[in-house]
Structure 1
């Protein structure tokens, strides 16, 4: 077992902690991050990207790791993300506002729910379910929010699956191909994830800006 970093926010920490069961551990975190409220504290994009790297290399920062199976990640990742999100949707539909009726704490902020609700209302249910996958914290809270706001479970499942495949497999494959092509890729993991996040957020930010511009224009 190798634990490279002391902070649970580091993907290397979790991959080292899971050891030979790294693939199962990654899938468990994907499930928790999309289905359980405390999952918003777990690493998401960086973990998926790093796991993808470890399908092509067996060493990070000079520490040996057991290589992870790419097919297992490509199939298991979206499945875990879909099941987790459906659980979140069910919890929201079952418990409604009571699920979020709690004081702010380390694992909960009311502003996170408000942010998820903003995206849900701004882009509409279908787009929001897909877009949320690429936004940390929002991807955790939007699923129960969709259930609470009455989005049909079957319709949610369709867009949940689309978002899960795009999110998981794009990060796994990016990590895999960069891990195979770039020597010393471990030095670029965080910058690589940052670039991916920026590229995914740009269209969203553009839509938000357009919406605010239209609102101001109509208000004049």
Structure 2
């Protein structure tokens, strides 16, 4: 099996995997390690191939729904756990700076942050949690969540889809796949290294 063939590499299980990853990235703190932007772009690329793993129209419907559902999960976690949500082991692993950055976005843009955050790694994972923690009106949060999810997913999917029709890119999917894999591994390694240095500094202090 050619691992880079759309049907062989992704297949029907690939769509399910994308749905799960988008839900986790926006709904659970552990999802900050996933590069949602790269995943959406890659999904558009594969959808443009002669034998797509899923049609573009289905991706444009299903993936925003998974993202919206993840938002709702993150919001409920923040709302029901309250300040305890900021004291979990995963939050200590993420560190204080992403939280401060998210708060600065809320201070500057207010609820519209829910839309903007979609395009910023880690922040899009923290925003639903912080929205629930701050008791943002759920109906208002949902409206911005739906808008942001549709803009985020549709823009990256369609960009990947149309670029997938470019012969040079279509003939070098192997390189694109390697680049996508590195975009997962490298940030994860950097985060692990920072977490270890932070813990070591705390012990020394």
TM-score class, shorter: 0.7 to 0.9
Say which of 8, 23, 26 aligns to 2:18: 26
| Stretches (4+) displaced over 4 A | 1-4, 103-107, 187-191
Give 1:90 deviation, angstroms: 1.0
Say which of 30, 40, 48 aligns to 2:40: 48
1:56–1:67 CA contact under 8 A, matched in 2: no
TM-score by length of structure 1 reads: 0.71
TM-score by length of structure 2 reads: 0.76
Higher relative CO (Cα under 8 Å, sequence separation at least 6) belongs to: 2
Aligned length in residues: 175
CA-atom RMSD in angstroms: 2.7
Residue of structure 1 in register with 2:98 after alignment: 112
Give 1:182 deviation, angstroms: 4.1
Residue of structure 1 in register with 2:127 after alignment: 142
Cα distance in 2 for residues equivalent to 1:41 and 1:23: 19
For residues 37-86 of structure 1, the C-alpha deviation after alignment (integer angstroms, 9 at most, x for no partner) is 0000112100100010000116xxxxxx8633212210001111111001
How has the CA–CA distance of structure 1 residues 3 and 110 changed in structure 2, closer, same or farther, with 3 Å as cutoff? farther
SS, match of residue 78 in structure 1: helix
Unaligned runs of 5+ in 1: 5-11, 59-64, 195-220
Pair 1:178-2:163 in alignment: yes
Give the structure with the higher percent helix: 2
Unaligned runs of 5+ in 2: 184-205
SS, match of residue 54 in structure 1: helix
How has the CA–CA distance of structure 1 residues 133 and 105 changed in structure 2, closer, same or farther, with 3 Å as cutoff? closer
SS, match of residue 162 in structure 1: helix
Say which of 150, 157, 177 aligns to 2:142: 157
